[in-house]
Structure 1
């Protein structure tokens, strides 16, 4: 299995930007295609693309947190309570900041944050893939992340792009042994989504393995302190918010779990999801959807196994494993599972390596075709009745 690479001297910012430029241009082009198809579809359907991207479903909850703070909730007819305490604060904090320094509304500020974050996420994915497998694989990894069928979420005022950005750069910092930066970014990930625990775990495991394999006694004491500081910083974001929610709700350490339970969310080791898939096979049309879900889950598991055999560094495997486990083994709204898997970008690295071995024209043809299909599917998805 690949171990952590030795720390390298930081490359000049200009050189790093030039190296990543092709990946960022590809990413921007794919996302522009997705937005163009959404605009055309919206014009035909009489729906506003702006509303679909900035003012529906979870984006409304983030906007309300940015505008009014926490404490707002909805009680449903069945007695369950949907509280905005379920939404972590980094995205609404940034929405509030952007709105305060610009004429933008909170909703439009959310779009700006998401679009900028998606570029930083693409750059982080490129940095990780380039560091491990080379520049061509880095470009292909970014392209694959962009053309995901649910890639339109990257352009919504949701937290997936922001989370992927801080997670990817934290993992890259771990691979470069920049422990303090890795810890700070892991803490930011913990302030963005509950799955920020995956980034924290990656930092902790990487540090533990490094100590075990190499022995930090042979390094300067200053290096030891940097590692310990990064390890200590990593969980502060998630722990701070969860403890605050527990104090505010009176639920103590389990207060945030109670909030999530009000939304019907909880970790049940995949029982509810398996039952949901099983129920699809009670009818012929449903059986086709059920087969598609089984194939999708099998593909995710297969890509993870290939990543293990490929020798991906342990921090990436730990991060990806936790993201996948939380996405597939939690109860809740099952239509959201594809976007919950979106931050698990290391799953795409085996495909990126394979594409990088093809001639540029052939890989471009493959990615271009998938990009068109993904753009159409994304427009169809957002024009549905349920949230993504």
Structure 2
């Protein structure tokens, strides 16, 4: 065999070896790409399985549970707009005025309506659309959480994946499978914070503006994004994108609040609706403290006692974030969400759900678990997923009041 033939044979063998390795590499890349989605969807599927089991034991409909309480309002707004909400939907006091539906932000029901009408001829149905938008939002959020986990102090992709699992298994994460707006808000908030940490100010500003159209918690996000932009400007690390991002950030929230003010004839119209319809206003945390002491003293229900412990855990995690000197925009955002939740009165039973957007509080847990052995991580996350699944199912099928 000549030298040319040997060279050709070696080249062919090398090519065949490269081709044989390519599928494995492609599979690895595909697995890496879908890992955040699979983790999120897997844990949420466990939650739905437990919900199905408990619903059957308590004579509840899973479909009705997934669209209960606030879900009814969002679906009604998606169907007929603010002026087309059925009169049968009332506030926490059993009352109703023409302005009552304005207490619910328009972002989520608007997207639900758009998605339901995609294929024309009646679309896919509002309930299916709402649940699809929720699940897709949760998946979108999971990819942002992986990015956040890679950017935090001592973080990594592994930290980000653990953060996704903790978010999907958080207390009251059942709403990430319901016709509720939390998943969409969290997705937008997470990507806005990614924009802040990566100094992608247009991403941060646009996502923050959109989040302000989804939930009032957008105020905490506006604070974090705008404060970060101001620091960048003052420190001389800004560009025109920083200014544009900072100007865009509050547009959604302030725009909707202003519109409600015009509709109600009151400059603080949205806040007045919350006070009249749900007894919600800022009292510095007095109502939360009274509720916590009463719940612990009387132990009236699993949900109320657990809510108190979740509140204490959230405060402890915020302190740990400060001590560990996590990225300060993430601390500001978490502190803002907690302040809006714990410093207000109203429906105490919703405290745990309203803390869900404070997902950055899970960072200390994620970084701690990332340093442990894989078996420890798997057992811990599995236990949290099971406990969360049960608690969420309990809240929908055994607890008889709003969440």
Do the aligned residues in 2 keep the contact of 1:323 with 1:343 (CA within 8 Å)? yes
- Contact 2:171 2:356 (C-alpha < 8 Å) held by counterparts: no
The total of aligned residue pairs comes to 365
Matching residue within 76, 100, 104 for 1:87: 104
Which region of structure 1 is more displaced relative to structure 2, 294-303 or 371-380? 294-303
Q: Distance in 2 between matches of 1:66 and 1:288?
A: 33
Distance 1:145 1:299 in 2: 15
Is 1:229 aligned with 2:241? no
After superposition, the Cα gap between the structure-2 partners of 1:50 and 1:174, relative to the gap in structure 1 and judged at 3 Å, is same
Mapped pair 1:332 → 2:346: yes
Structure 2 alignment gaps of length 5 or more: 1-26
Query: 1:208: Cα distance to partner?
Result: 1.3
The residue number in structure 1 matching 2:312 is 298
Pairwise CA distance, 1:60? 0.6
Deviations 1:190-220 (A, max 9, x none): 000001011111111111112233x14xxxx
Q: CA deviation at 1:325?
A: 0.6
What residue number does 1:24 align with?
37
Select 1:366's aligned residue among 380, 395, 400: 380
**Distance between the aligned counterparts of 1:48 and 1:108, measured in 2?**
15
Q: What's the C-alpha RMSD, in Å, of the aligned pairs? A: 2.3
What SS does the corresponding residue of 1:65 show, helix, strand or coil? helix
Q: What is the CA–CA distance in structure 1 between the aligned matches of 2:54 and 2:305, rounded to whole Å?
A: 28
CA separation of 1:246/1:267 partners in 2, compared to 1, >3 Å: closer, same or farther?
same
For structure 1, which runs of at least 5 residues remain unmatched after alignment?
A: 1-13, 217-222
- Which residue of 145, 164, 173 corresponds with 1:125? 145
Contact 1:162 1:192 in 2 (8 A): yes
For residue 254 of structure 2, the aligned residue among 239, 244, 257 is: 239
**For 2:258 and 2:109, how far apart are their aligned partners in 1?**
19
Counterparts in 2 of 1:294 and 1:28: CA distance versus 1, 3 Å: closer
**CA-to-aligned-CA distance 1:87-120 (integer Å, 9 cap, x gap):** 0001011111011114322222111100100111
Structure 1 counterpart SS, 2:400: coil
2:224 paired residue number? 202
- Specify the structure having the higher radius of gyration (Cα): 2
User: 1:110 corresponds to which residue?
Assistant: 130
Match of residue 321 from structure 1: 335
Shift of the alpha carbon at 1:292? 5.0
CA shift at 1:28, angstroms? 1.3
Alignment equivalent of 1:137, drawn from 159, 162, 175: 159
Q: TM-score, normalised by structure 1?
A: 0.88
